[in-house]
Amino acid sequence: MKSILGACALAALASIVISAQASKPAPRLANGKPDFTGVWDHPRVGDISRDVKGACASGGRGCSNVVSGELLFTPAGKAEWDKNNKPTTYDYGARCQPWGFVRAYNTPYPHAYVHHPDRLAIMWEQDNRFHMVPTDGRELPKDLEPTWMGTSVGKWEGDTLVITTAGFNGRTWLDTAQHPHSDALRLTIRMTRPDFDHLNWDITIEDPKYYQKPIRNSRTFVLMEKGSELFEYACAENNRCEGGKCAEADVQKDQKP
């Protein structure tokens, strides 16, 4: 009987410990705002129009993606979708070009944040790419130079960081399912850290050239185990002869002296 009671007591204690760990509060920056620093596992979202429940890209559990509504194309967007949705479509990512802001969050590799009171640095293992977000409340410049990853600014609404991103070159996809976007793409991301181990990431995708209404994904990220780091990821465009051992067919003959 004592052994049974002892086991029950241990089980109850373990439950209390687990509960305490689960409710551990999020860390705070020097300015009192939530600190998003860490290496985060995210759901593998190959298609932004589909939910993901439970599975994380790097093998953990607790990640999710919840979509709101169907994707409604404009005529221009439908034409681009029909052009993309073919087996022979050129995949820029497979040619080592930047995956793009939205698609980078959908990969089977984790990402990380380094957070400072005035700036959030986003680092993706995919392509080892980074993106800087000033969080001092500034507005987006009116004349943005089109880029692969866009330009971002952030501001706080209570404990929610709101990131606005625009200024895209229109050369990437929103996901591996090849949903297109134009240079009119504008993103609004709302980030919160409800506890130590989870981060809520809510994105609204607006592109009036290609979609009749905004697209929304609400995701849950899970903090990876202490000591986890992003791996090196190398992909070099036009890298055809590893180790410098090029055969005749690997070189541009018309450029030879």
75-130 confidence digits (pLDDT tens): 999 999 999 888 778 889 888 899 999 999 999 999 999 999 999 999 999 989 99
Backbone dihedral region of 244: left (phi > 0), alpha (psi from -120 to 50 degrees) or beta?
A: left
**Given this model, what pLDDT does residue 246 score?**
59
Q: What is the mean pLDDT of residues 217-223?
A: 98
Residue 20 has pLDDT above 80, yes or no: no
Q: How far apart are CA 251 and CA 180, in angstroms?
A: 33
**Given this model, what pLDDT does residue 255 score?**
42
Residue 42 has pLDDT above 50, yes or no: yes
pLDDT digits (tens, 9 = 90+) for 194-216: 999 999 999 999 999 999 999 99
**Helix, coil or strand: residue 82:** helix
Q: Does domain 26-226 have CATH number 3.30.750.24?
A: no
Beta-bridge mates of residue 121: 114, 132
**Given this model, what pLDDT does residue 63 score?**
98
pLDDT digits (tens, 9 = 90+) for 149-188: 999 999 999 999 999 999 999 999 999 999 999 999 999 9
pLDDT confidence bin for 8, thresholds 50/70/90: very low
* Domain residue extents for the chain: 26-226
Mean pLDDT of the chain: 87
Which structure tokens are listed for 119? 């700036």
pLDDT confidence bin for 10, thresholds 50/70/90: very low
**Given this model, what pLDDT does residue 13 score?**
42
Q: What is the mean pLDDT of residues 43-48?
A: 97
**Given this model, what pLDDT does residue 84 score?**
86
The model carries a pTM of: 0.84
Residue type at position 26: A
**Given this model, what pLDDT does residue 204 score?**
98
Q: How many helices and strands in the chain, by DSSP H and E?
A: 3, 11
CA angle 31, 189, 149 (to 5 degrees): 105
pLDDT confidence bin for 253, thresholds 50/70/90: very low
